[in-house]
Structure 1
């Protein structure tokens, strides 16, 4: 129960973390949208304020010096915002703002719900700025702007269209003189327009049914029956936050579903691993984690399966070793028992001494067998920490030649090795491998054994051949298994316990090499071929 709770708590933490991440992303999205709304509002205010206050600045510049103050008062009432002329800006404009002022555009500094607006006024003999503070550009400011545009056009009789084109870069929406007959207004609005009133009409942009727009109509003072039409221009419409909230909720829902699907697959893999470990704990070494994939869980499952297979191989090997040891021990023990019985029942002292010598041979045989078994068990259990160092193989092969000659075996050993052959290896294990192969060949050879060591690129290759009976092809893989002796070709009379080649195979594996056996073409007997790197990496897996 506690284990299940811990498992669930892990995934609750994962789900909670994902949820917090999504909420954080949603919050950041909200903040971003809020910032975008502010930017859009800033751009809209700059565009519309330029359309209103550029023409206002032109009107101020036209006024005589003694009339400007009074005109500004009237204009302030008309615009519904205080207008002032100042000789220096109260702010430090940025490079972009200075460029806007030089080109005749407004600079807007928004603080809270209102905006400070500045525009340069080219007054005769001096440079001044027109400033105001306004909450927004609406219907009243549009009416005031229409008045200022009519006053400006009155200075260009017959050239109204040209003047409108000159002013259009500072406006940002359509401006035109049109006949009164083409104005599309309702009856009430048309009557007011005919009575020289400025009419503001609200509607929707033709390109969008959801975006509100405003159009201003002002009767011309120069041309009878002509109307100045300003717009339509889009009203500022903030991004609808309620839609954003709905979108975030929907996105959160689908992201949660996707996260659940991903983590649920992860959970299934972990549960499968847990079930496999439970079976292993109960002793079922055939259990394997059925988890695929290249992610961390898949790699963990693969490692677990490899480890389980390795443990099973070790236990099987231990079981086989126990059975083989018990079998191998029976013969010398039986001879010891028989010899002791013979010695006890023999009245002849010389015969008893002969029985003691035979018993001593059996004891030596038992000691040798135990040494071989211990060596094999030690090498089979784990991989030692190998410290590869430069090893003179020419000298090592010469040492093996001398040790073999000292045994005065019936068969003769011939060693062939490259001069000055130095590799990275461990002398103790390299000597054990070559000595075992040579000793095995001498045991079964009739007259000749040949050991050849050559370098082949980044590898060294050892051939050990004899002129003995050879090894049948069907049994060439079995001879590297422990306690394997082929009675039909290599009888028990030759000695050995069938562990030497198993030890050789293990050490060759540590050296990251390969070994196999075939038939010698020159001598006719068995030929063992070992191949391993000149410089092993030392990373050979211990699970294989």
Structure 2
């Protein structure tokens, strides 16, 4: 049932789509955060790498450079390697950063270790290679020492040179008065002891938590060097969350649109077909793709179009046939009336009255046939299905036909007396009556009537005769209204070409079929009507469906 419902497929598609968008959003956040984290690491190391490069460049010879690097490694408690540049393979992006006197950072997520590569000023043959496997207060408090070491060469001009190197730092570095900072007495005491302090600030704005490193200025006890505030890395900032949310909603809307477009297209086809039908064009048929509700709608529309077209054609044919069939008895009646006006012979007048009576009876019979056919053709009749004994209906028709003294041998092969089938008795009687009457007209001598239930659970009635039979190419046409294969024989026998059409429509409303072939025993025509021996359930009497009968 799931695969037959377009709405369930849409709901399931939405669930899958939401899951896919969630996975997509998660992966996108991870990818973006990986790039953001890399940029964050590089921004934190750019200023320090510049200061370290300047400090090494001030050393007069290579040995002093190595000693300076060793002192820096002890200060940071991190291994620093002075390596040959030719032994380090750099990517294009890393080369550009080093040429711009910025740090290249390689991060090993598995071991949570960063490798910082720093280019040296005026020394393209060597690189600094720093392995950072921990970041603590020791490392953070060492950063101001490198900056103060840089500023010691510019006494009295510290603020000017800080402004010059500010562009290399992603966070502010400045010299401030101690009293301008929100410090408590303990922190001020530590500064007076030449200890650096770290300030944490939890900001409710988008900046989040920040860190500032405050270090005393050796040349001025009232001033301190302040690095920061440095914002901690935020894995989900507002801008990123808003962007990912909007992008996910956009992707979700595209997915929903993709799910609804096929249904919208098929509804547009139905709407176009209905407009064509409204304009009188009944030739358009909808393609039936799949087995869902839209396919069912297309199938029902096609069936409705076929039925309406058949009704229109039947109405036209009915009008033509009725006008033709009515003219003959009416003309005979008019002629007989004229004869009566001019005839004085009593016996002859009685004869003409009898002929007029027969023509009126023929008109009544024709009108009854036309009304029955029209009632069955226009729409579902009121069918009162009930359990009936099949042999009783067959026996009743055989007895009624024999009473007409047709001089034909009508044989009944009755089914078991206890065999019961679901049927509308009045219409089933009409079917057997029409088939037997048709067989009597065209047989030579023998007609066999039988019935029963086959292996597929289908009830059937069967009438066969020993006449000339019906050619195979005419076996479908005989069920059309007013269809005659032999007009002269039909007129002699009093037929109007509606009997088999009525049988065909009754079979349709019974949910069965009617077909004709050759009788294997008599050699003539054999008509067989079959229909379900049991209705779906008793609630379907009178053609009423319940909600349990509808596949939802």
Match in the other structure for 1:239 = 235
The structure showing larger relative contact order (alpha-carbon pairs under 8 Å, at least 6 residues apart) is 2
The yes-or-no answer on 1:415 pairing with 2:405 is no
Match for residue 370 of structure 1 among 345, 363, 367: 367
The question of 1:306 aligning with 2:303 is answered yes
In structure 2, relative to structure 1, the CA distance for the partners of 1:356 and 1:453 (3 Å cut) is: same
**Unpaired segments ≥5 residues, structure 1:** 1-13, 38-184, 216-229
Deviations 1:25-49 (A, max 9, x none): 88x979xx89xx9xxxxxxxxxxxx
Find the counterpart in structure 2 of residue 191 from structure 1: 71
CA distance in 2, matches of 1:495, 1:339: 19
SS in 2 for 1:413: strand
Alignment of 1:4-403 (within 5 A): 190-191=70-71, 199=77, 206-207=107-108, 232-233=133-134, 237-241=233-237, 242-289=239-286, 292=289, 294-403=291-400
Paired with 1:358 and 1:385, the residues of 2 have a C-alpha distance of 37
Are 2:439 and 2:447, in contact at CA under 8 Å, matched by a contact in 1?
A: yes
Change (3 A) 1:415 1:290: closer
2: CA distance, partners of 1:320 / 1:234: 97
Hey, what does 1:442 align to over in structure 2? 440
**Distance (Å, rounded) in 2 between the aligned partners of 1:489 and 1:355:** 24
- Quick one: which of 450, 453, 470 aligns to 2:451? 453
Do the aligned partners of 2:461 and 2:529 also contact (CA within 8 Å) in 1?
yes
Q: Report how far residue 448 of structure 1 moved.
A: 1.8
Give 1:440 deviation, angstroms. 1.6
- Aligned equivalents of 2:346 and 2:272: distance in 1? 70
Q: Deviation of residue 519 (structure 1)?
A: 2.4
Report how far residue 320 of structure 1 moved. Answer: 0.6
Asked if the contact 2:112–2:133 (Cα under 8 Å) also holds between the matched residues in 1, the reply is: no
The alpha carbon displacement at 1:382 in A equals: 1.1
Give the equivalent residue in structure 2 for 1:95: none
CA spacing shift, 1:188–1:470, aligned 2, 3 Å: same
From the superposition, tell whether residues 473 and 425 of structure 1 become closer, same or farther in structure 2 (CA, over 3 Å). Answer: same
CA contact 1:482–1:499 (8 Å) conserved in 2: yes
Aligned residues: CA RMSD: 4.1
Instruction: State the SS of the aligned residue for 2:108.
Output: coil
SS in structure 1 at match of 2:133 = strand
Q: What residue is the counterpart of 2:469 in the other structure?
A: 470
TM value normalised by structure 2: 0.56
* TM-aligned CA distance change 1:441 to 1:283, over 3 Å: same
The aligned length equals: 357
Which position in structure 1 is the counterpart of 2:529? 530
TM-score (norm. length: structure 1): 0.57
* Unaligned ranges ≥5, structure 2: 1-9, 34-64, 81-102, 117-130, 137-231, 546-552
Shift of residue 541, structure 1, vs aligned partner: 12
1:294 to partner: Cα distance = 4.8
CA distance in 2, matches of 1:187, 1:300: 87
In 1, distance between residues paired with 2:401 and 2:427?
17
The whole-number CA distance in structure 1 between the counterparts of 2:73 and 2:461 is 112
CA distance in 1, matches of 2:325, 2:471: 24
Distance of 1:240 and 1:531 partners within structure 2: 72
Q: For residue 532 of structure 1, give the secondary structure of its aligned residue in structure 2.
A: strand
Give the drift of 1:249.
4.1
2:468 and 2:327 map into 1 onto residues whose CA distance is 29
Residue 144 (structure 2) aligns with: none
What secondary structure sits across from 1:491 in the alignment? Answer: helix
**How far has the Cα of 1:475 moved from its partner?**
1.9
Question: Aligned partners of 1:313, 1:385: CA distance in 2, in Å?
Answer: 21
Cα distance in structure 1, aligned partners of 2:300 and 2:366: 36
Once the 2 structures are TM-superposed, how far is the Cα of residue 459 of structure 1 from its aligned partner? Answer: 2.4
